[in-house]
Amino acid sequence: TAPDMKVHILDTGTMEADRTWLLLAPHTVIKTREHKNDPRAWGQVPTHAVYIDHPDGKILWDTGVPRNWQTHWEPTGFHEFFPVLDDPEGDSGYLDSSLSQMGLAPDDIDILVLSHLHFDHAANARMFDNGKTRIVTSQAELDGVADITGYNKGAHIPDDYKGLTIGGITGDDEIVPGVSVIQTPGHTWGTMSLRVDLPNEGTKIFTSDAVYMEESYGDPPIGAAIVWSSLDWLASVEKLKRIEQETGAEMIFGHDEGQRANFRTGPDGFYS
């Protein structure tokens, strides 16, 4: 029997971007000559974290985008490609405010699991450098970023995570009973997905950037402009599809604007 736990999806900022970054799809972003003068397919790219209130501890999956995104991303140019939407109060649901709404502070989190170390997932990892929170990611991701020099290499910004004590996970590993990671490389060296087996609502798989959107998942799967290995990515999508078929899991994708609208959010919106 799955442990009694609650899963909350937290807002961690919404970017805007050209959808070509996310989906190399004919007609959607790749146009025929008849439509060559159509406007760019520019849309919202929501980010989220997952908070799991579990009998064995408080677990957080990913951290979203930083409040200081304009200055932090300026050396990379990402601030022009992926601007973050702000509401009139200057708060687009960043991680700190989403945690606060839950009555949580960073040092309440026992384990932070980073799906990978890109600028829109690991950006707030330093909030958890508190001597209490254990931070983990894939060992393959740690190995991949080890030789990065300079301010950034692609979407990895070492300032987000360098100097933090981060444990490396190898293989598909259980974090606590009912909560496990799935190795789904391809987007990066060590991108992971999160599997949660809930007692009442069954299995949920949070794909992170292993699958950006429902359209990416296919059939057939549709690749993206930001990918380390297309072959590994495709193998990971096929792996997730097998697990989905075996478990009947609900798939929750990394940056799906349409799916985001239907999330249960806030302190009273949870899955169990």
pLDDT at 73 over 70: yes
SS3 category, 128: helix
Residues in CB range of 155: below 8 A, 6 or more apart: 78, 118, 119, 120, 226
Element (H, E) at 190: none
Rounded Cα distance between 182 and 243, Å, is 10
- Under the banding of pLDDT at 50, 70 and 90, the label for residue 200 is very high
- Both tokens of residue 53? 């209130």
pLDDT at 1 over 90: no
SS3 category, 15: strand
Query: What pLDDT is attached to residue 30?
Result: 78
For range 110-115, the mean pLDDT:
99
β 192-198/179-183 pair status: antiparallel
- Under the banding of pLDDT at 50, 70 and 90, the label for residue 225 is confident
Per DSSP, the residues of 138-165 read EHHHHHHHTT--SS-BTTB-GGGTTTS-
pLDDT at 12 over 80: yes
**Per residue, what are the HEC states of 208-228?**
HHHCCCHHHHCCCCCCCCCCC
- Both tokens of residue 230? 């297309």
* Residue-number span of the structural domain to which 114 is assigned: 6-260
- Under the banding of pLDDT at 50, 70 and 90, the label for residue 60 is very high
Amino acid at 203: T
Judge whether 272 lies within some domain: no
Which pLDDT tens digit goes with each residue over 40-58?
A: 788 999 999 999 999 999 9
pLDDT at 140 over 70: yes
Number of domains observed in the structure of the chain: 1
Judge whether 111 lies within some domain: yes
Query: What pLDDT is attached to residue 88?
Result: 67
Judge whether 69 lies within some domain: yes
Query: What pLDDT is attached to residue 21?
Result: 85
Share of the chain above pLDDT 90, in %: 81
Query: What pLDDT is attached to residue 240?
Result: 99
Kindly report the average pLDDT of the chain as a whole number.
94
Rounded Cα distance between 114 and 3, Å, is 22
Query: What pLDDT is attached to residue 53?
Result: 98
pLDDT at 116 over 90: yes
pLDDT at 150 over 90: yes
Rounded Cα distance between 89 and 98, Å, is 14
Query: What pLDDT is attached to residue 177?
Result: 97
Per DSSP, the residues of 49-68 read EEEEEETTEEEEE-----TT
Judge whether 246 lies within some domain: yes
Q: How many CB atoms are closer than 10 A to CB 244?
A: 15
SS3 category, 169: strand
CATH number of the domain bearing residue 42: 3.60.15.10
End-to-end CA separation in angstroms for the chain:
13
Which pLDDT tens digit goes with each residue over 240-263?
A: 999 999 999 999 999 999 999 999
For range 130-140, the mean pLDDT:
98
Judge whether 269 lies within some domain: no
Judge whether 178 lies within some domain: yes
Judge whether 212 lies within some domain: yes
pTM: 0.95
Which pLDDT tens digit goes with each residue over 175-197?
A: 999 999 999 999 999 999 999 99
Q: How many CB atoms are closer than 10 A to CB 6?
A: 12
Judge whether 265 lies within some domain: no
Burial 214-227 (b: 16+ CB within 10 A, else e): ebbbeeebbbbeeb
